[in-house]
Amino acid sequence: MILGIDEVGRGPWAGPLVVGAVVLGDARIEGLTDSKKLSKKKLLQYDKLIRESAKGIGLGWVSNNEIDDIGLSEALRLATIRAVEQVKTPYHEIIIDGTVNFLRETSKEKYVTTMKKADLLISSVSAASIVAKVARDNYMIEQGTMYPQYGFEDHVGYGTAKHMEALASSGVTPLHRKSFAPIKLLIKSKDSKSKPKEEQQVDNNSQTTKQVGDEAESLAAAYLEGEGFTITDRNWKTKFCEIDIIARKENVVYFVEVKYRKLSKWGDGLDAVGKAKLRQMKFAAEYYALKNKITNSDMRLAVIAVSGSPAVVDKYLEV
CATH (domain of 257): 3.40.1350.10
**Is 150 domain-assigned?**
no
8/123 same-domain check: yes
User: In this structure, are strands 112-115 and 242-249 parallel, antiparallel, or unpaired?
Assistant: unpaired
201/106 same-domain check: no
Using the 3D structure, point to which of 171, 187, 205 is the last residue of a domain. 205
HEC string of 177-191 equals: CCCCHHHHHHHHHHH
**Is 231 domain-assigned?**
yes
197/224 same-domain check: no
Query: According to the model, what pLDDT value does residue 199 have?
Result: 47
What CATH number is associated with residue 132?
Answer: 3.30.420.10
Instruction: State which residues form the domain around 186.
Output: 159-205
Q: Model's pTM, two decimal places? A: 0.64
**Is 297 domain-assigned?**
yes
113/9 same-domain check: yes
Using the 3D structure, point to which of 145, 170, 185 is the last residue of a domain. 145
Comparing C-alpha atoms, which of 100, 97, 75, 85 is closest to residue 18?
A: 75
Query: According to the model, what pLDDT value does residue 109 have?
Result: 94
User: In this structure, are strands 298-307 and 312-318 parallel, antiparallel, or unpaired?
Assistant: antiparallel
230/126 same-domain check: no
What are the b/e assignments for 157-172, b being 16+ CB within 10 Å?
bbbeeebbebbeeeeb
229/197 same-domain check: no
236/297 same-domain check: yes
Instruction: For 47-61, write each residue's pLDDT tens digit.
Output: 999 999 999 999 999
Query: According to the model, what pLDDT value does residue 210 have?
Result: 64
**Is 14 domain-assigned?**
yes
97/199 same-domain check: no
168/140 same-domain check: no
183/236 same-domain check: no
Counting the structural domains of the chain, the total is 3
Q: For residues 6 and 46, what is the distance between their CA atoms, to the nearest angstrom? A: 16
**Is 152 domain-assigned?**
no
Task: Render each residue's pLDDT in the chain as its tens digit; 319 residues.
Answer: 999 999 999 989 999 999 999 999 999 999 899 898 999 999 999 999 999 999 999 999 999 999 999 999 999 999 999 999 999 999 999 999 999 999 999 999 999 999 999 999 999 999 999 999 999 999 999 999 999 999 999 999 998 888 988 988 899 999 999 998 888 888 876 655 555 554 444 444 445 566 777 788 888 888 898 888 999 999 898 877 889 999 999 889 999 999 887 755 444 556 667 787 888 888 889 888 888 888 778 999 999 988 877 678 888 898 8
Cα dist from 280 to 56, 81, 237, 275, 286, whole Å: 53, 44, 13, 9, 10
**Is 154 domain-assigned?**
no
89/220 same-domain check: no
Using the 3D structure, point to which of 189, 205, 221 is the last residue of a domain. 205
Query: According to the model, what pLDDT value does residue 190 have?
Result: 64
20/130 same-domain check: yes
Cα dist from 38 to 43, 121, 129, 215, whole Å: 6, 15, 11, 36
